[in-house]
Amino acid sequence: MNQYQAEEEVLGKAYDSRLMRRLIRYLAPYKLYVAVSIILLLFISVLQLAGPYLTKIAIDRYIATQDISGLSRIALIFLAILVVAFFLRYLQIYIMQFVGQRVMFDMRMELFSHLQEMSLSFFDKNPVGRLITRLTNDVEVLNEMLTSGIIAIFGDIFSLIGIVIVMLWLDFKLALVSFVVLPLLIYATVLFRQKARESYRAIRTRIARINAFLQESIVGMPIIQIFNREKKNLGKFEGLNHRYLEACLRSVFYHAAFHPSVEIIGSLAVALIIWYGGGQILKGALTFGALVAFIQYVNRFYHPIRDLSEKYNIMQSAMASSERIFKLLDTPVEIKDPELPLPIEGIRGEIEFKNVWFAYNGRDYVLRDISFRVRAGEKVAIVGATGGGKTSIISLLARFYDPQKGKILIDEIDIRNFRQKELRRYLGIVQQDVFLFSGTIENNIKLGENKINFQQVKESASYVNADKFIKKLPHGYQEDVRERGSLLSVGQKQLLAFARALAFDPRILVLDEATSSVDTETEMLIQDASAKLLQHRTSIVIAHRLSTIKDVDRIIVIHKGRVKEVGTHQELLQKKGIYYRLYQLQYQAEKEKTFA
């Protein structure tokens, strides 16, 4: 079981003071609303106490004397109380729903803001589905706790205290008789709490295993289908699903048993009241109206206790969700801006890697003592076998990660002395796996940057040959791009990435060549666009096809995380080293492909 599955199985207590203190901080901006809500609950509880007492008055004072006028007044008072209670209840629910929605909004904004500050190493270690769950499901659970759990408990407490006080005031002995069954109620509640906790643990554990299996199956669906493992996989899922069903049914059993148990205990209390109270009526020590009021109060006393099972589940889920949310918020930001950042205006674009060591996990180094310099305005290609560390150089230059040792300099200044936003404003990256957002072609080029107008978008697209296919689209630059640009070809997405980079006009450009094959015409357009894009700026090309980099100023050969060779295309061929062998292998492969 991995750590993320274990995290999903976190049980949490029904009440955790440490977590509750942190949650209450989110209510601080809305403390006035919360205070009003609690005051409304107090008034509602008082109004609810009035009903049985009015019934007592109606029976003892007016029905017994056949006073229709007095009975009518009681009925009108009762109706007025119902109307006022309805209005106050509506107002209280609306206020708490408003507060709950605002707290959810604030919490999601804080979570998303925190996520955007995290380095790529954080996203390497955290599945997307897990992070989405934190911002959606877990936050929604907290909203339910705020609106239906913790605040509602105040109303239950007010009601219980009020009922006990009124019952003791009406008849002290009869009240004590009705409380005889409380030990049974306490035992049933404690037993339910224990069983509910166990069943909740089983449900969380088994749904976490289903989620993990689903994620693995969906991602690995091509392998499942190519090896005809659908039936086998379905059998595994059926087993997991069945165990989850068993856990849910066990939980349903405990909840179903708790409600009638409380009803039986409540009925036993009513029976004792009728037995003792009836005897008191026969002796003339108690009125019939008081007995009826007592029965109503006892029924109301057990109502919030019957709801305990639902509130217990809400609180328990909320504590587990808040534990996961705060764990995410407490994750430290690894890549931080300096306290006193240096300005980065008017840079020349000189880049230097000085004795850089880097490992994604902090142990297995993919770059080992890397040192090289790219002069301002120079075009440099970096080549090497797959997994040699070429792409890692891009990530370090953009400060997606920080090296464990060494420095990366721009214009002889360590990039850790710049704000990340300022650094990236002068840095453009065209990745081989082009990412497109849902929206229009225009928005995918300018990415919502208001300083880039439509004319600049068109000029950028035209300059890198992207307008040739954009004009053929039904809606041109306003054509809707589906998620990740699924309806566009690899070549078209590559040209859009070039247009995007040009629109932002970076001083330093890093081009990670696409490895996917495209048709000959698109290939020519891409090569022409690449040549245009690299002009008049410091450029680094992460090359996968050596035939495309013959005209760069220098080539750096990376092998097993180290710089092995540096020179022009012709110089490296003459050395007959690693570059020469790579070139020969690619040349032979392309030759065989041509004659195949």
Instruction: Identify whether 15 is part of a domain.
Output: yes
Asked if residue 350 lies in contact with residue 373, where contact means CB atoms within 8 angstroms, the answer is yes
Instruction: Specify the pLDDT at position 11.
Output: 52
Beta bridge partners of 409: 352, 414
Q: Are residues 288 and 387 in the same domain?
A: no
pLDDT surpassing 60 at residue 516: no
pLDDT surpassing 60 at residue 381: yes
The residue among 380 and 2 whose pLDDT is bigger is: 380
Instruction: Identify whether 346 is part of a domain.
Output: no
Maximum average pLDDT range among 229-243, 278-292, 420-434, 575-589: 229-243
Q: Are residues 156 and 58 in the same domain?
A: yes
Please write the tens of the pLDDT for every residue from 157-170. Answer: 888 889 889 888 98
Please write the tens of the pLDDT for every residue from 279-301. Answer: 888 888 888 888 898 888 888 88
Instruction: Specify the pLDDT at position 3.
Output: 54
pLDDT, averaged across the chain: 85
Asked if residue 366 lies in contact with residue 389, where contact means CB atoms within 8 angstroms, the answer is yes
CATH number for the domain spanning 495: value is: 3.40.50.300
pLDDT surpassing 70 at residue 7: no
CATH number for the domain spanning 56: value is: 1.20.1560.10
Buried b (16+ CB within 10 A) or exposed e, 180-202: ebeeebeebbeebbebbbebbbb
Structural domain count of the chain: 2
Share of the chain above pLDDT 90, in %: 23
pLDDT surpassing 90 at residue 511: no
Q: Are residues 162 and 219 in the same domain?
A: yes
318: containing domain:
3-329
Instruction: Specify the pLDDT at position 270.
Output: 87
d(CA 348, CA 336): 24
Q: What is the mean pLDDT of residues 71-96?
A: 92
Instruction: Identify whether 364 is part of a domain.
Output: no
Residues in the chain: 596
Instruction: Specify the pLDDT at position 590.
Output: 60
pLDDT surpassing 90 at residue 372: yes
Instruction: Specify the pLDDT at position 378.
Output: 92
Please write the tens of the pLDDT for every residue from 249-288. Answer: 988 888 788 878 888 888 888 898 889 888 888 888 888 8
pLDDT surpassing 90 at residue 315: no
Please write the tens of the pLDDT for every residue from 198-209. Answer: 887 788 788 878
Among 293, 313, 329, the domain-final residue is 329
Q: Is 64 left (phi over 0), alpha (psi -120 to 50) or beta?
A: alpha
Instruction: Identify whether 367 is part of a domain.
Output: no
**Does the predicted model carry a pTM greater than 0.85?**
no
Instruction: Identify whether 531 is part of a domain.
Output: yes
Instruction: Specify the pLDDT at position 237.
Output: 92
Q: What is the mean pLDDT of residues 4-27?
A: 69
Instruction: Identify whether 280 is part of a domain.
Output: yes
Torsion sign (Cα): 166, 169, 170, 176 = positive
Instruction: Specify the pLDDT at position 515.
Output: 53
Beta bridge partners of 413: 410
12-21, 107-116, 174-183, 413-422: the lowest-pLDDT one:
12-21
Instruction: Specify the pLDDT at position 87.
Output: 95
